[in-house]
Structure 1
Amino acid sequence: MPDLAQIFSLQQSTARAKPYPDYRERLNWLRQLEQQLKEQLDALSQALSEDFGHRSTEESLRIELLPCLQSLSYHRRRLKRWMKPKKRHTSWLFQPARNFIQYQPKGVVGVMVPWNYPVFLTIGPLIAALSAGNRVMLKLSEDTPATNRCLQQLLAAVFPIGQVAVFTGDAEQAAVFAALPFDHLLFTGSTAVGRKVMQAAAAQLTPVTLELGGKSPAIVAADANLGVSAERLVFGKCANAGQTCVAPDYLWVDAKIQQPLLEALTSAFQRLYPQERLHQDFSWLCTERQRQRMQSLLQQAEQAGATIISCAEHSWRHYLQQGSGLLPLQLVLNLPAEHALWQEEIFGPILPVKSFHSIDQVFAELTTLPRPLALYLFSANKALQQQFIRHSHSGGVCVNDCLMQVAQDDLPFGGIGASGCGAYHGPEGFTTFSHAKAVHAKGWWHPGRLIYPPYNKSWLNSGLRWLLQRK
């Protein structure tokens, strides 16, 4: 594989040679990608399990591969409509003429992929960038080598490197990648690394989309259905062992229902992950760095006097001391406010819990916190739902469920403030990777020349003043 600069130059040349791939060409890209993806489902699932130490094939199909195929189908059905010029109003002052928006490929797009969803976060942005007609360079995480090899083979079978190129490598390689003068750069990862990526892109005036994370709260009101809420919270927190940027990071529960909710969470976990299937169905923590971090957080919580409730048969020590990456859901209560579990994105199957006595208390505290990527509210109260939707800030909101806002093909996905900037998925994916070119078109005859100098036409000056002063 030639180096980054060579491939970037090649893709620039390819984009210049054909700056506007037509509908049929783009549709063919999506169809070929879909066919290859379907043929490689088993290989990708096996590679994902190898990289994670263990991840259920069925979970990979549900949370990574199926969403990719759904997105491909969604884009194929809507691509022709998205590509059509969009008419805009033309004031009578400028008639006869017409205004429209022409969506044009930006050129060469860079995509930086994290390790937690290496297929979905590679293929998803790729679909949007290809639909918009771009060339794409992908930087994959060094923590998922087996999946990287599989993706490289899959994409090489469909696209020449002048169209789509895949790179791996460490943080040094990632820094070089981020510094290339892309026409757009999408980064998914931590807030700390996101700042470095944005700084590198700023030197090139590269527009960026940052999909970061943060501490996404789940709020359970007193009127919530405890059984349903607990089951959905457990699924949202335990999918991919909590290694999800939109996983519920911590739980805020009305004090009146805290104890029954804790019992419902434990019961729901044991129902969804019975002991006899725990090792097959529950994903492992992906890296040794992740395992050590989870262990350190739990040890610190114990030392701070917190209560840790393991939702599985054994304590957290039993699982982590076995040397595997398996860590079932751990509920943490009575945790001091200064503890790292309240300060850092957890990104694992640890769920701190705190109670509130008034929903106003929740709103008052939310306004002081960094804006999260997701906010989850469990309540049947329509007025309360509208209050959270309208008056809280987050990348997205999911009412009475977890994670499912990301799976909606027709909704944008993106953060706000510390959780990112920009969005993709849905039509926003197409527009993010396109330049909305404004076009004003007119014929040879046009009364607009009346505004040209010289300005000594008294009748015209009087008419202009009348226009300015009219209501």
Structure 2
Amino acid sequence: MNRFTIQLDEIQAAYTAEPNPTIEVRLERIGRIEKMIAANEEKLCKALVADFGVRDSIETRLVELKGLYQACAYTRKHLKEWMKPVQVEIPFYMGGSEAWIESQSIGVVGIMSPWNYPVRLALLPAIAAFAAGNRVWLKPSERSSRTSGFLASLIQEYFHPSEFCVTTGGSDVAEQFAALPFAHLFFTGSEAIGKKVMRAAAESLTPITLELGGKSPAMIDSSAKLKDAAASIAYGKLLNSGQTCIAPDYVLIEESLQDAFIQQLQTAAHQQFSDPKELTGPIDDEQLQYWQHLLSDAIDRGAKAIPLLNNPSAGGRRFEPVALIQVPQDARVLHEEIFGPILPIVTVANSAAAIEYINKRPHPLALYWFGKNKKNLQQVLEQTRSGGVTINDVFLHAALESLPFGGVGSSGMGKYHGKAGFDTFSYQKSILEVRGLLGTNLMKGTKPAHPPYGKKIERLLRTLK
């Protein structure tokens, strides 16, 4: 028995002593997360700058911290309703019986969070787990070591380790963590690591949620207003320097529109991110080298790079955002998740060809469609599969707590946010109370089916048809 197993036993013992926390206890724990963030916004922003090198505090507050406040407020508003038993329909032949579903807590939830949004993506699932009445054990990413370390110290200050425990460390710690027999394991990260986590969890049959990524397309219909589409895509690709699981990974557009779109894209990128202090840096040298390798591989194979900003190396930017055109299909950038400020542009003949292109590839985590043609839009929605869709903008489907968020196929399994997160970390117990008709023994439960068999059972079978 190692220290992790002992630690899990201690948290499990605390949960066993309080397996059905009241709504007041659940909301108080969520409220502590809210207070913890509110009291340390500035310090968290500084920790993120220390990890990324460049990361504007407004961007951090907007895309990380604001989402946490929204999740707390939404949960506070709806938790009472989520916790209520749900009555279900009873067939007439079961007399006066009553059936319902109760949501129960499941135990200790393990969370493995990523480095790209190391505060938001650590605490959002924790809020959902607390709402469902569970205890939480977090393993944050070692690549955002300063933020992860600071967040760990804050959680230790605001929570008892039997409520909300944090363990930091590298891949060796992550491997041991993933193998623990949690009530549920929640992982956000790459597909490659997700497979390893799933294999480790399978040893103890731990239920798992995988929030992965993949190549999320931005489809520009011929009916789109190019200026608006370019502004949204530039924002989606350059926010956090593209280090976002639902960033637009590539663009599908008709060839006749490509030049005009690139012009609008450059204009939008310059308007939004010309200040070098507002373009987030790569998390580390490993990420920077990955971008450089993707770019050089594409160019070596014949792609043409088009700078998105017209003041190269302003303020010593470590990487210049680019669009890529004429990209050969064997280029790495068209097959690997980019997770950076590189935007391949793929030309297609029409909307049907764009749909075909998407469907020949793994299902993406997000899909973005730009245009006004409702018929083409409906075809895209009906004929493609993706974790979520935003129409005529980027990201926003993931910002709504009322919409479940998650992937499909290789982009993930399971969902959270709002009620979906509460359900993910709850056990839905089915309950039937058997009663006879009008308080009598008539038609009570299994009684009409009891042997000896004969004409009585024959009549029952005809009734049940």
Same fold (TM over 0.5): yes
Separation (CA, whole Å) in 2 of partners of 1:94 and 1:26: 37
CA contact 2:178–2:197 (8 Å) conserved in 1: yes
Q: How many Å separate the matches in 2 of 1:123 and 1:468? A: 50
When structure 1 is superposed on structure 2, of 357-366 and 398-407 the one drifting more is 357-366
The residue correspondences of 1:184-333 to structure 2 (distance < 5 A) are 184-274=184-274, 277=275, 279-314=276-311, 318=313, 326-333=318-325
1:21–1:210 CA distance, 2 compared to 1 (3 A) = same
- Work out whether residues 251 and 345 of structure 2, in 8 Å CA contact, stay in contact via their aligned partners in 1: yes
1:18-97 mapped onto 2 (5 Å cutoff):
18-97=18-97
Instruction: Indicate the residue corresponding to 2:125 in structure 1.
Output: 125
Q: Deviations over 1:218-239 (max 9, x none)?
A: 1101110111111100111111
User: Does 297-306 or 387-396 show the bigger shift?
Assistant: 297-306
The superposition leaves residues 74-94 of structure 1 with CA deviations (integer Å, 9 ceiling, x where unpaired) of 111111110111111112222
Equivalent pairs counted in the alignment come to: 459
- Tell me the CA shift for residue 468 of structure 1: 4.1
Structure-1 residue corresponding to 2:460: 464
1:360 aligns with 2:330: no
Deviation, 1:158, is 2.3
Instruction: Please report how far the alpha carbon of residue 242 of structure 1 lies from its aligned counterpart in structure 2 after TM superposition.
Output: 0.2
Please report how far the alpha carbon of residue 204 of structure 1 lies from its aligned counterpart in structure 2 after TM superposition. 0.8
Q: Which whole-Å CA distance do the structure 2 matches of 1:338 and 1:437 have between them?
A: 50
**Partner of residue 337 from structure 1, selected from 319, 322, 329:** 329
Whole-Å Cα distance in 2 between the matches of residues 391 and 431 of structure 1?
A: 28
User: Equivalent residue of 2:103, what SS?
Assistant: strand
Structure 1, residues 200-220: CA drift from partner, whole Å, max 9, x if none? Answer: 111111111101111111110
Q: What's the counterpart of residue 386 of structure 1? A: 378
Instruction: Tell me the equivalent position of 1:412.
Output: 404
User: In terms of mean alpha carbon deviation, does 109-118 or 363-372 score higher?
Assistant: 363-372
Partner residue in 2 for 1:101: 101
Mapped to 2, the partners of 1:229 and 1:314 lie a distance apart of 23
Q: Aligned partner of 1:419: which letter?
A: S
CA deviation map 1:415-442 (0-9, x unaligned): 0001010100121000000001101123
C-alpha deviation, 1:302, in angstroms: 2.0
Which residue number corresponds to residue 450 of structure 1? 447
Query: What's the counterpart of residue 397 of structure 1?
Result: 389
Structure 1 unpaired stretches of 5+:
none
Deviations along 1:214-270, whole A, 9 cap, x unmatched? 111111011101111111001111110000000000111122211100000000011
**1:271-325 Cα deviation digits (max 9, x unpaired):** 1123xx2x2111001111001111111122222221101112355xx57xx9x66
Query: Quick one: percent identity of the two aligned structures?
Result: 37
Change (3 A) 1:456 1:59: closer
State the distance in 2 between where 1:85 and 1:111 align: 27
SS at 1:406 equivalent: helix
Residue aligned with 1:405, SS: helix
1:120-146 per-residue CA deviation (whole Å, 9 max, x = no partner) reads 101101100000011111011111122
From the superposition, tell whether residues 107 and 129 of structure 1 become closer, same or farther in structure 2 (CA, over 3 Å): same
Contact 2:149 2:168 in 1 (8 A): no
Distance in 1 (alpha carbons) for counterparts of 2:268 and 2:310: 13
Equivalents in 1 of 2:186, 2:254: separation in Å?
Answer: 38
Residues 203 and 216 of structure 1: CA distance in aligned 2, closer, same or farther (over 3 Å): same
- Structure 2: how far apart are the matches of 1:372 and 1:286? 23
AA matched with 1:253: I
One-letter identity of the residue aligned with 1:467: T
Matched to 2:186, the amino acid is L
Q: Deviations over 1:11-52 (max 9, x none)?
A: 111111111111111111111221121111111111011111
Q: Is the 8 A contact 1:189 1:213 kept in 2?
A: yes
Q: For residues 64-118 of structure 1, what are the alpha-carbon distances to aligned partners after superposition, in whole Å with 9 as ceiling and x for unaligned?
A: 0111111111111111110111111112222222111100011110110111010
Q: CA deviation at 1:167?
A: 1.1
Distance 1:390 1:326 in 2: 41
1:177 aligns to 2:177 (yes or no): yes
Name the amino acid aligned to 1:466.
R
AA aligned to 1:433 is: F
**Distance in 2 between residues matched to 1:56 and 1:4, nearest whole Å:** 37
